[in-house]
Amino acid sequence: MRAGRGAGVVLALVLGACRSRNEGTNDAGVLPPPSALTCEGLVAIEVRESLPGFTLKEERPCPSCGPLCIFQSAEQKDVTVSIAYDCRKHFEGEDVRALLGPTLRAGGVEVPAMGKAAARREPAPGMLQVSAWDDDTPCGIVVTWLGKDKERALDIARTTLFTTTNERLLQAGMPPSAPPPPSTPPPNATVPDAGWP
């Protein structure tokens, strides 16, 4: 399968997953909205280093989704890797069985000892998709590997979960290099003498 067509399949699968979820609400005081999160801010250096020679491109599969981070390589044209982020407060209280349900009903198998819950499935020949939920942030991720060495999707999912922290989420949602607010002297500060008697 060619890389362009592979990226289209990945995007269609993630869009379907996004539309099938409940909308949920964000806690504006803790999490930035999904539209503010970017691949540049979310994908850790450890994940990038595990995919040498791959370039990162960002897509937005739906308005309420987080970013879809797509990795492609000029050398490995038949391999496409993507990480979809969905970070919303309603995942925190959800039961593990409820989280795994849709993937298991679609023919998936539970993956033990990965985050709060995880499952894997093969939605198309030569493709492995790992859905996992972080145990210390309100994030779900979907890692999709299309092409040879598809079992590496499990390692990418583990590394992504390990490197996804609340600090990274907050940092990823901050506006780029906002200027500092103008400084005002404290109320009891002394004003320099203007030379008047």
- CATH code of the domain in which 162 resides: 3.40.1000
Structure-token pair, residue 90 = 């309603």
> Is 192 inside any structural domain?
no
Structure-token pair, residue 101 = 């349900």
Into how many domains does the chain fold?
1
34 secondary structure, DSSP code: G
Residue found under tokens 């739906």: 62
φ, ψ of residue 36 to 5 degrees: the values are -85, -15
Neighbour-count burial for 56-86, b at 16+ CB within 10 Å, e otherwise: beebebeebbbbbbbbbbeebeebbbbbbbb
- Answer whether 110's CB lies under 8 Å from 97's CB: no
- Give the structural domain span for 167: 3-17+35-172
> Is 196 inside any structural domain?
no
Residue found under tokens 């506006």: 175
Neighbour-count burial for 40-53, b at 16+ CB within 10 Å, e otherwise: ebbbbeebeebbee
> Is 26 inside any structural domain?
no
- Alpha helices by DSSP H, listed for 43-177, are 45-49, 96-105, 152-163, 166-172
pLDDT in tens, 86-142: 887 766 667 877 888 889 999 999 999 999 999 999 999 999 999 999 988 888 999
- Answer whether 109's CB lies under 8 Å from 120's CB: yes
> Is 197 inside any structural domain?
no
> Is 141 inside any structural domain?
yes
> Is 144 inside any structural domain?
yes
Concatenated DSSP letters of 54-93: EEEEEE-SSTTS--EEEEEESS-TT-EEEEEEEE-GGGTT
How does pLDDT run along the chain (197 residues), one tens digit per residue?
444 445 454 444 544 444 344 444 334 345 788 888 999 999 999 999 999 999 999 998 887 778 999 999 989 999 999 999 988 776 666 787 788 888 999 999 999 999 999 999 999 999 999 999 998 888 899 999 999 999 999 999 999 999 999 899 888 876 554 444 444 444 544 444 444 33
> Is 157 inside any structural domain?
yes
> Is 24 inside any structural domain?
no
